[in-house]
Amino acid sequence: MNHQLKNILMYVLAVAVILFEMRRYLKKKKIHFFSIALLVCMAVVSIVKSFFLDFYIVPTASMSPTIHSGDLTLSLPYKDRRDKLYRGDVVIFHPSAFPSFIYVKRIVGVAGDTVSFNTNKEILVNRKPVRIEKEKNNFNIIYEGIQDRDGKTYQYMTDRNKPFIEPIYTTWHVPDGYVFVMGDNRDNSWDSRYWENPVGTPKELRGLLPTKNIISRYMETAINIPFFKEDFDFGRLGLNIMGDAQKKGEK
């Protein structure tokens, strides 16, 4: 658990203490506690989301094994457009083709990179493969990559039972102001390999994500919210998705 999650837990604890003391005071004054408490909670959530952390529930498994379906993720708002983006960063953004939607993917190529995708489902960045095979089973092959921001490893996988799907191109040259993104669940992700950008997009920019569309980056999984399960998955509390996917239970 790193400092971002610790900070949010401290905020929650502080709010709980304030509400407890407020309840005692309001009880004496015969003022309805829950109305005031609701307003305080709304104000705190608004402040935290605006200045400190964004939080989103991920409904799909396109980023598995890093992010699971139902994970409540925390992220840092990406407000300073001068902030450098690195290969391996996980970002939340509005896709150009569907600006009302919110997606989460991992950056594979940044400005100046040449990204290639071949029939072996292999990604090459500047002619160098980004994967190291870690393990294999009847369904998936798990690989490890390196996150350039801090040198930590992350995991992604391919589905052994799914055939190669032809992308819109086999090679992309990433210009300034754009990144190339993919889901960690490579055979179950709609990403830069297949995107058809809005009508009028220059051919050389098809599939690429404008950095201006990025909302936030560097997330943690706070907890798993069960859409189809009976219990919360507390085992994912504080999982740093930038480099801790190799923790116990995530292999």
Please report the DSSP string for 73-118 in residue order. Answer: EEEEE---TTSPP-TT-EEEE--TT-TT--EEEEEEE-TT-EEEE-
Residues designated catalytic: 62, 105
2 pLDDT band, cuts 50/70/90, is very low
Predicted local distance difference test score (pLDDT) of residue 251: 38
State the chain's mean pLDDT as an integer: 78
Bridge partner list, 173? 114
35 pLDDT band, cuts 50/70/90, is low
- Residue 37: which of 23, 54, 24, 56 has the closest Cα? 23
The answer to whether residue 10 scores a pLDDT higher than 70 is no
Average pLDDT score over residue span 211-233: 72
The answer to whether residue 223 scores a pLDDT higher than 80 is no
Q: What is the domain partition of the chain in residue ranges?
A: 1-52, 55-219
Name every residue whose Cβ is closer than 8 Å to that of residue 28 and which is 6 or more positions away in sequence: none
Q: How far apart are the C-alpha atoms of 242 and 106, rounded to whole Å?
A: 9
Could you tell me the CA-to-CA distances from 59 to 64, 81, 212 in Å, in that order? 11, 27, 24
- Residue 6 is encoded by which pair of tokens? 């610790």
For residue range 115-156, list pLDDT tens digits in order.
999 998 989 999 998 878 888 888 899 999 888 888 888 999
Q: How far apart are the C-alpha atoms of 106 and 89, rounded to whole Å?
A: 6
Of 56 and 37, the structure prediction assigns the larger pLDDT to 56
Q: How far apart are the C-alpha atoms of 112 and 188, rounded to whole Å?
A: 27
Q: Cβ distance 183 to 191 under 8 Å?
A: yes
Both ends of the chain: CA-CA distance in Å?
19
- Residue 90: which of 117, 141, 54 has the closest Cα? 54
Give the residue carrying structure tokens 């493969």.
129
CATH superfamily of 55-219: Umud Fragment, subunit A (2.10.109.10)
Question: According to the per-residue pLDDT averaged within each range, which of 36-40, 53-57, 152-156 is highest?
Answer: 152-156
Predicted local distance difference test score (pLDDT) of residue 193: 94
How many angstroms from the chain centroid is the CA of residue 104?
4
* 3-state DSSP assignment of residue 59: coil
Predicted local distance difference test score (pLDDT) of residue 57: 84
- For the range 57-62, what are the long-range contacts, defined as Cβ-Cβ under 8 Å and sequence gap of 24 or more? 57/225, 58/104, 59/227, 61/185, 61/188, 62/104, 62/105, 62/183, 62/184, 62/185, 62/188, 62/189, 62/190, 62/191
Bridge partner list, 73? 56, 221
Cα torsion for 200, 201, 203, 204, to the nearest 10°?
160
Q: How far apart are the C-alpha atoms of 228 and 240, rounded to whole Å?
A: 23
